[in-house]
Amino acid sequence: MGSGRKSAGPASQTILVVGGGIAGVTAALEAAEAGQDVILIERDASLGGRVTKLNRYFPKLCHPTCGLEINYQRIRKNPRLRVMTMCEVTGVSGARGAYAASIRRHPRFVNERCTACGECAKATETMVVNPFNYGLDRVKAAYLPHEHAFPMRYVVAPEAIAAGEGEKLKAACVYGALDPGDKGEDFDLHVGAVIWATGWKPYDPNNLDGYSYGHSRDIVTNVEMERLAAHDGPTRGKILRPSNGEPAKKVALIQCAGSRDLNHLPYCSRICCLGSLKHAAYVREQYADAEVHIYYIDIRAHDKLEAFYNRIRSDPQVTFIKSKPAHIRIGDDGRPVLHGERTIEREIYSEPYDLVVLATGMQPSAVSGYRPAIDIVSDEYGFLVPCEGDEGGIFSAGVATGPLDVSMSVQSATAAALKAVQAVRNS
Ligand SMILES: Cc1cc2nc3c(=O)[nH]c(=O)nc-3n(C[C@H](O)[C@H](O)[C@H](O)COP(=O)(O)OP(=O)(O)OC[C@H]3O[C@@H](n4cnc5c(N)ncnc54)[C@H](O)[C@@H]3O)c2cc1C
């Protein structure tokens, strides 16, 4: 890659990292701490990516915020690393050692003078869907992305400006941080190597015809379950039925919801089984009398995570049912009812639940129509193939390359950083 391509301007030793999830943050820090100048571009209003929305990490059930905060401390201390949020790369041209990257910054309407005092949120009357909680609730249109956001800076949704609230919000900010006229901007960066760490998005549960997502609020996805269990989620951490706010004590977890299925995602996303084991633990921690049923094809608890599986399996109130449910209907009492056959016992069931969680898989972000302008190679599912050979300067890391958990994402990011450092130093 890059061989024979015309270079874009003078050589640069700066490394551009696209995507500020755990993989991008890791790659950026490793390269900066090795002595390179690094620019980290994130399209959202704050760093951390999808892991900021996880309640806890398997297998130890620790909170993601600890590890993220350590990384943010490393960023604050490193003058070689520059972070740009609300930015996307719209094109890359050139060759190893001299790439030109075109960047589009989207308007935030709040500048770096923001102290996160929250006066703008008090001033706005507009409400918007809360992206942090996957749309399970709404927030004021002037909001902090979440309580541990980095940078700790408010963002104003375009809806508030469209509603004519710009000047009112500006007047409410004594620090001069509100900029209702922010139009965003386009600019170019000259860099020597690029690491794509653009991560993943959840598979769309609306594609799973038989599973009635969208027909009952008590049928949620695994990423939504993370928010239902989180103290800063829509229910302040209580696992409740979204339809009526009652405790969700009888819970079904459906594995491979769309995964390992030629009609949807033919591949295994590798983390869904472990994610559901974690969800069983969340429910059991909250309700001593809870019943959790895990519907599975086979359980894939890879590497050292088998012990976590055995721990959850030993809980007598967690039942593993070998079956792929055929469909979900809504019962007369409004509860979702699973229909299918227990594969081992050859028994037909129709079982009502308070809450059903669909373990949907991970799809590369790049699939959503966004393609890096330069010809980075992707596989048949849209995952980006890490650059091979000695000549290229384009690399990829984390779930952008394939389904990985956090520790594997960090390893792949460290490897990508090392390759990028070698690329700029040898070009
Ligand atoms: C239900 C569930 C539970 C999970 N639980 C665990 C767990 O307990 N433990 C564990 O180890 N793993 C867990 N995982 C896996 C974990 O979420 C991933 O390993 C992790 O998110 C990978 O991080 P990443 O940086 O590669 O991607 P992401 O987290 O997706 O980050 C990518 C970043 O890139 C940004 N981006 C995307 N496109 C662009 C663009 N064009 N320009 C600029 N920025 C862009 C995005 O906004 C995002 O911030 C879970 C996954 C699921 C689905």
pLDDT single digits (tens) 259-308: 999 999 999 999 999 999 999 999 999 999 999 999 999 999 877 788 99
For ligand 1, say whether the CB of 258 is within 6 Å of any of its atoms: no
As a whole number of angstroms, the distance between CA 284 and CA 312 comes to 10
pLDDT for 3 equals 38
Q: 253 CB less than 6 Å from ligand 1?
A: no
34-59 in b/e burial notation, b at 16+ Cβ within 10 A? Answer: eebbbbbbbbbbbbbbbbbbbbbbbb
Length of the chain: 427
Question: Cβ(364) to ligand 1 under 6 A?
Answer: no
Residue whose CA is at the smallest distance from ligand 1 atom 48: 49
Of 398, 373, 394, the C-alpha closest to 383 is 398
Ligand 1 proximity of 351 Cβ (cutoff 6 Å): no
With cut-offs at 50, 70 and 90, classify the pLDDT of residue 8. low
Structure tokens at 103: 């960047």
Does the structure show a pLDDT above 90 at 17? yes
Query: 269: CA distance to ligand 1 center in Å?
Result: 12
Q: Is the distance from the beta carbon of residue 398 to the nearest atom of ligand 1 less than 6 Å?
A: yes
Confidence label for 110 from pLDDT (cuts 50, 70 and 90):
very high
128, 213 Cβ separation under 8 angstroms? no
- Per the prediction, the chain carries an average pLDDT of 94
- 12: number of CA atoms within 13 Å, CB side? 23
Answer whether 59 contacts ligand 1 (Cβ < 6 A): no
The atom number, within ligand 1, closest to the CA of 366 reads 38
Which alpha helices (DSSP H) does 35-138 contain, by range? 64-77, 119-123
Question: Is residue 372 over pLDDT 70?
Answer: no
- What is the average per-residue pLDDT within 220-244? 98
3-class state of residue 323 by DSSP: coil
pLDDT at 4 (0 to 100): 40
Answer whether 255 contacts ligand 1 (Cβ < 6 A): no
Q: Measured from the CB, is residue 225 less than 6 Å from ligand 1?
A: no
Lowest mean pLDDT among 160-174, 341-355, 385-399: 385-399
pLDDT for the residue 378: 85
> pLDDT at residue 6 above 60?
no
As a whole number, mean pLDDT of residues 124-146 equals 97
CA 101 from centroid of its chain's CA atoms: 24
Expressed in angstroms and rounded, the spacing between residue 202 Cα and the centre of ligand 1 is 10
243 CA → ligand 1 middle, Å: 28
Q: Is the pLDDT of residue 29 over 80?
A: yes
Q: Which residues contact residue 374 at a Cβ distance below 8 angstroms, ignoring those fewer than 6 apart?
A: 91, 92, 93, 99, 194, 394
Show the DSSP H helices in 262-405 as ranges.
Answer: 272-286, 306-313
Confidence band of 367 (pLDDT split at 50, 70, 90): low
- Ligand 1 atom with minimal separation from the 223 CA: 1
More confident residue, 366 or 225: 225
Q: What pLDDT was estimated at residue 387?
A: 67
- Dump pLDDT digits (tens) for 336-363: 999 999 999 999 999 999 999 999 999 9
pLDDT higher than threshold 60 for residue 42: yes
Query: In whole angstroms, what is the distance from residue 347 CA to residue 412 CA?
Result: 44
Instruction: Confirm or reject: Cβ of 234 under 6 Å from ligand 1.
Output: no
Distance CA 355, CA 241 (A): 6
Least confident of 4-18, 126-140, 201-215, 350-364: 4-18
Region for residue 214 given its phi and psi (left: phi exceeds 0; alpha: psi -120 to 50; beta: otherwise)? left
Region 113-126: mean pLDDT is 98
- Confidence band, pLDDT 50/70/90 cuts, at residue 332: very high
